[in-house]
Amino acid sequence: MPKISPLMAAPPLLFAVLAGLFIFGMGRDDASRLPTAQAGKDAPSIAALTPLGDLAPLSDEMLDQGGVKLVNYWASWCAPCRAEHPQLEAMAQSGITIYGINYKDEAPKALGFLNELGNPYAAIGQDSPGRTALEWGVYGVPETYVIDAKGKITYRFAGPITQDVLDKYIKPEIAKAAAN
C-alpha cells in the first residue's frame, strides 16, 4: 500500500480554511463596516490641508465647534464618490453639515467634479499627498466620519453612502452623536 505524503493533504486543508474564512466574512451583518482606532478620540488635525480653489477652507476649529458634522474623504477619480454624491447633496440640503477632504487629486479635476455634481460641503480642504488621510486611518475613498459637538470621532463608514447605508447607519449614528 503506497504511503500518502503529508504535503498531499496541505492543498485541500488550505482550501478548507480559506473557504471557512470566506463564508464567515460573507455572514457578517455589514461586510463594508471597518473598525476605526479613532473612535472616541479627537479628530486628527487637518492643519496640513491646503485650500481647494476659492472654496471655503476647512480648519481644525470647524471640527471642534458646533453640533454633529460629517467629514467626507472623496476624489474626482473615484467612481464610488460619484455614486454617493446625491446622498451627500440631500444630507446637506436637509441641514447636516458636511466637510469635504479632497484626497490625492488634482485641483482642476476636483473643482470640475463639484461644478458638475454640486457642492454639498460647508468647507473643503485638499490632501494632495494623502498625509492627513493617514492620520485619520483612511483605507480609501470614499470614507465618511461622524464627528460629535466636542470634535470626537464617533463613527466611520468606509465606502459609498447609498440610501440604504444612510438610513441604516449614518442617520442613526448622527442621532446617537447628537444625544451625547
pLDDT tens digits, 55-109: 999 999 999 888 999 999 999 999 999 999 999 999 999 999 999 999 999 999 9
The answer as to CATH 3.40.30.10 being correct for domain 32-179 is: yes
Compute how many other C-beta atoms are within 10 angstroms of the C-beta atom of residue 26.
Answer: 8
Domain boundary assignment for the chain:
32-179
Separation in Å, CA 19 to CA 10, 23, 32, 35: 14, 6, 19, 23
Rounded (5°) CA angle 144-46-91:
30
pLDDT of residue 31: 43
Q: Residue 14 — very low, low, confident or very high, per pLDDT cuts 50/70/90? A: low
pLDDT tens digits, 122-151: 999 999 999 999 999 998 999 999 999 999
pTM: 0.80
Give yes or no for a contact between 135 and 146, defined as CB atoms under 8 angstroms apart: no
Give yes or no for a contact between 74 and 45, defined as CB atoms under 8 angstroms apart: no
Q: Which of 28, 27, 32 has its CA nearest to residue 157?
A: 32
